[in-house]
Every structure is written in structure tokens, then in C-alpha cells.
Amino acid sequence: MHKPLVHLATWLFAFILSSIFIPALQAKSLRITAPGTGIDATPILLDALAQCVNEDIDELILESGRYDLYPDSAPERFVHVSNHDDGLRRTALAIWNVNNLTISGHGAKLIAHGQAFIPITIYNSSNIAIEGLTIDWATPLHMQGTVTGIDPENNSFTAHMLDAENVFINRGRILHGEGGSPLNGINDFTLKPNKEWWQNAEWTHWVDSQTGRPLPKSRQQPILEWHPRWKTPATFMDLGEGAFSFTNATASMPQVGDTFISKGLLMPNRMSPAIHMENASDIALKQVTIHHAGGMGLIAQRSSDITIDAMNVRLPEKSERWVTTTADATHFVLCKGDITVTNSYFEYMLDDALNVHGLSAVIRKQTGPASLECELIHFQQLGLEFAQPGERLRFSQQADLVPYGERKVKSYRKLNSSRFEVTFTEPIDTFLQPGSYLDNLDCNPDLTFSGNTVRNNRARSIIFSTAGKVVIENNRFEHGTMAAILIEGDANNWFESGPVEDVLIRNNTFVPLSPSSYILEFGPNEKGMKTLSDAPFHRNIRVTQNQFKLIGPRILHAHRIDGISFDANTVLTQADYVYSKAASIHIERSRNTKVSGNRFDLPNEPVLHISE
């Protein structure tokens, strides 16, 4: 007879529990609307981020629309951005010391203004997701002109300039930038940071505006301010209505329809990546579109576990531009964990779609029984944190890149941006060899690059040198100007370490642009070495079940590999195939080599050059 009372008590208890606990499990979100074209959205975004942190809000929602990002009220800090130019940088979405936050774009477009500006920075943060955002610049950070007429007798051509209102003739030079024509010249005393910048026409890349493909190597040439053949300065004239003339500015005459892209050498030209990460972990980027950046699309350093899905580094619709990022689309330095890039589209970069690597630091002197002073050599690696306590560093000979041992780090101390002192848990007196360098064995992430398209970019499609497990599959690599896949590593040139140990390249389609470049290039960079070693550098590389559509016979060039296989691949030709006697497969100073079961549908018998 008391059962109804029991049921009522149970129900009331459950109701009270749900009232207490369910709200705590519900995610909290903050929604902001686009302020309108020309209104600075930077303070709005910064205030919203602060509110998310202070109130434990899980999701920041940016409603569809345009968010203009100006540097005036943006926070700044001096940053060492790997493979970029160092300096003070301002940022709009400053995700600093933030954990457990999702930023949902819902089609929001972030439009950056000025140079030396990074739209999104993620520092010392974890579990951050960014979805559905588009990043672009109001004024492109490159000069671009399409040839509309030629005058071979006078070594002159006319070009229609993109963004012509920001192109100036100044003291005999053609310049592109913001801040008007620099009437008093360009110097550090009068330059207004973040407000003014200019670049000249040097560092040039050419595209066929009819096909959208990069021009072949034979038609790539710099635009010069001094003509070496005629021993005369180039002359530039503003003809009005966006047209400019270039006289004695090229070694050979371009063709009508050729488009040049110049990122310039007058000022630093890698100052404005779209996204920069440092000491970040568990980061996810989904459906992020990057139309432009004055540097890389994404640069991550000293970070771990990064997932990229459905990223688009591509030209805006109905745009006259022929460049997206003026450097790599994505780049990862001294990272750990898993790097995954899937279902993404990369086009018209002035460098690679992806690069994953560590660093090589040269040993300068021994400072104690277990201590060394070392140096980072490349100017765009200065300031990076090479090691942390507990990590393992490998010792190798700089002359031949042959390793001879490793030690665990006890302490690490920066001396300045280029030099550091590292102390190990064991003595090195009888261990250290002269002419050595170090690389970090614990900064070797696993890499998955799958379901992506890379097309029409200058340089390689992808580069990687990591000892983690690497899977490159189900991708399309089309019309890059150099190798589609480069596996390198060095301690004399780029100082990007190190050997790979487990690489699978499977079920990809390769459509090369140049008949003079190998599609696959595997082996350490031995530039400047007095002797070439036969000792293996890379190990265990398998190339299988891929399709190659050749424009020339070159497919694979490799050296110093222990365990390389090329099997079950299909090799076809393009309509404009160029015959030569070059080897299709050229493998040297390697062992445990296997080439079998491939189908070659070529007009001539493929040449295989394989030597131990």
C-alpha cells in the first residue's frame, strides 16, 4: 500500500539529480555577428575570446559574414616563426593559453589588412578546434601582371597589373604595396609598421593564364632591375588604366598571356602566415579555407597531434589572382604525435603543399663533461626550441650524415636566438666526434596524407623527413614544377633533419608538369659534400599500386636507401610525352631494392638503373 509513495520519492530524487547535473554537462556557446565591411572586427574577436576563457565557454560561433581584421588594436609579440622572417607580429584571433575551445565559422570570412600580421595564432593551448572559416587578405601580398603585348626589337613587354592602384613607379623601380608611393624612399626611420610595406618585382614565378598551369622551366625567368646582357638598368613605365611597360627587365621575351607573380626581395617576404601554432596540442582544423597568405597557410612548431580535414588552400571564385600562399600551404617543424591531413585541396602555392621535418643543429664546442654549445644555422630557424629535458638527441657526422649514437637531455638553455647549451644525462668526453651535428629523435611524428589534391604549385607537392610511420595514399598530385614527393634531410643546406624509417606510398595518381624532373626523389641532400657515402640514410620506403601519367620518362630517383620497393604500379603517358634516354628508375648506393610487377605503357622500353 506504500508503493505509490516509494515511486514518488524515487521520481523526485531523479528530478533533483537531473536539475543539478544535466546543465553542467551541456556545452556553453557564445555567438557573435559580423560587424560589416570596413569595421574592425579584431577587438570584437579578442573580447569574445576573453569571455570564452573567463566564463568556461566551450564554443565561439562566428556568424556568416565579413570580419575585417586591422592591426591597429591587435596584440603583438616578437615571434620566431619557423621558415619565416622573425619580428613583431600582431594577431586578431589570439588563442593564447586556452584549452578546450571550438571556434565555428559558419561561413565567416576573415579579411586581414597589412603585412606583418597573422590572423590566427595558437600558443600554449590544447584541444582547440577551428571549423568553417575562410582567411584572405584585402590587398594581396604579391605583385602580379599578365603580358598583353610584346616588343622584341626593344626587349620590352606590356603587362596589365593586378591591384594596379597599389603599384607604383618609384625612383626607377616598380613597386607594389600599401601606404602610397614612398616619396622619400624606403627606410626604417620613416616606415610605419603594419601600415606601410612595399615589394619590388624580384623573386618571380610564371603561370600560363590560359591553362592555369605553371610555365615550364625553360620559360621561367626572373624580372630584373639590372639586365646582365645589355649592362643596363631595366626601365618601367605606368601607361595608365592598369598597364605598365617593362623594358630590359627579362633575359628573354615572355609570350602574350604569360602571367608573372613576384613576392619581392625589397623587404622580408615571409611575414604573414595565415595560422601559426607553437606549443599547441590536440588541434583540429576542419573546412578551413585559405585564399591567401604572405607566407605559409599553416605553420606549426613544437606542437603535437594535429588533424586537418577538408582544408582548402585555393583561389577565390572569380578571382584574377594566380597565387594562394606565397610559401607552403602547411608546414610542421619539431612536432610530435600524429599529423593527419585528409580530404583537402591545395593549389597555386609558391611552395609545397606540406613539409614535415626536424632540425639539424651543428655542435660548436664542448662546454663540460656532459655539455655542448650548439648552433641553429638557417636564418629562418633561429629562436626555435631545439630540445627539452628528457628528449633523445642523435649524434651524426656532418660530412656524410652517418649517425654514431645518442644521448638523453638533462637540461637545455638558450644562449641567444641561434645558440644553445645542452647538458646530457651521461658524459660525452670519449663519445663525441669532431664535425658532428644533432637532431631530435623525439620530434618524429607519424604522418597520414590521404585523399588530397595538390595542383599547379611551384616547387614540390609534398616533402617529409620523419622517422614516424608515414602513409601517403589516395592523393592526386598534378602539375607541380618539381618532384611530387621529396624525401630528403640534410645538415649542410636547409638543415632539415632526418631519416625516414617506415613510408608507404600507395594508390596515388601523379600527373607531372616537367619532363626533366623526377616525380619521386628520395635521398639525403648531399650538396657541398666532398665525398659521397654509401651508408644508408633512409629505410623502408614502399611505392605500390600508384598510377603515373608521364610527360617524360623520369619516375623515381633514389640514393642511400636500405629497403626500397617499386611494385604493382601503372605507368602511362600524356599526349605531349617527351622522349629522352633518361632512366625511368634510377636507384644508386642503396640495398634491398625491389622493382617488380609494374605495367609500363611507354613508347620505348623503360631504362632501369639500379646499383648497390
Nearest to 389 by CA among 419, 374, 409, 370: 409
Name the DSSP letter for residue 10. H
pLDDT at residue 191, as a whole number: 72
pLDDT at residue 581, as a whole number: 92
Cα–Cα distance for residue pair 143/169, rounded to 1 Å: 13
Q: Which of 14-28, 221-235, 338-352 is modeled with the greatest confidence?
A: 338-352
pLDDT at residue 456, as a whole number: 98
Identify the weakest region by mean pLDDT among 222-226, 254-258, 522-526: 222-226
pLDDT at residue 27, as a whole number: 76
pLDDT at residue 408, as a whole number: 98
Task: For 54, list phi and psi in degrees, rounded to 5.
Answer: -70, -30
Q: Mean pLDDT over residues 452-474, rounded? A: 98
Run of H or E residues at 49:
helix 42-54
Burial of 101 (0-12, 13-18, 19+ CB in 10 A): buried
pLDDT at residue 249, as a whole number: 96
Query: Is 44's pLDDT higher than 60?
Result: yes
Task: For 21, list phi and psi in degrees, rounded to 5.
Answer: -95, -30
Cα–Cα distance for residue pair 459/330, rounded to 1 Å: 14
7 Ramachandran zone, left/alpha/beta (phi>0; psi -120 to 50): alpha
- Paired residues of 572 in beta bridges: 549
Query: Is 2's pLDDT higher than 80?
Result: no
pLDDT of 8-27, one tens digit each? 344 433 333 333 333 444 67
DSSP assignment of 89-142: EEEEEEEES-EEEEEE-TTEEEEE-SSSEEEEEEES-EEEEEES-EEEESS-SS
Are residues 179 and 203 in contact, defined by beta-carbon separation less than 8 angstroms? no
Maximum C-alpha span of the chain? 112
pLDDT at residue 19, as a whole number: 36
Cα–Cα distance for residue pair 449/435, rounded to 1 Å: 36
Mean pLDDT of the chain: 93
Q: Mean pLDDT over residues 255-276, rounded? A: 96
Confidence of residue 230 (pLDDT cuts 50, 70, 90): confident
At residue 217, the 3 state secondary structure works out as helix
HEC readout, 414-469: ECCCCEEEEEECCCCCCCCCCCEEEEECCCCCEEEEECCEEECCCCCCEEECCCCE
pLDDT at residue 10, as a whole number: 41
Confidence of residue 503 (pLDDT cuts 50, 70, 90): very high
Query: Is 7's pLDDT higher than 90?
Result: no
HEC readout, 528-586: CCCCCCCCCCEEEEEEECCEEEECCCCCEEEECEEEEEEECCEEEECCCCCCCCCCCEE
Overall pTM > 0.85 = yes
pLDDT of 571-594, one tens digit each? 999 999 999 999 999 999 999 999
- Paired residues of 88 in beta bridges: 78
pLDDT at residue 16, as a whole number: 34
Q: Mean pLDDT over residues 470-497, rounded? A: 97
Identify the weakest region by mean pLDDT among 14-18, 46-50, 100-104, 285-289: 14-18
DSSP assignment of 233-274: E-EEEEEETTEEEEES-SSS---TTEEEEE--SSS-S--B-S
pLDDT of 111-126, one tens digit each? 999 999 999 999 999 9
HEC readout, 125-137: CEEEEEECCEEEE
Pull the grid cell for residue 346: 591545395
pLDDT at residue 15, as a whole number: 36
pLDDT of 183-195, one tens digit each? 666 665 567 777 7
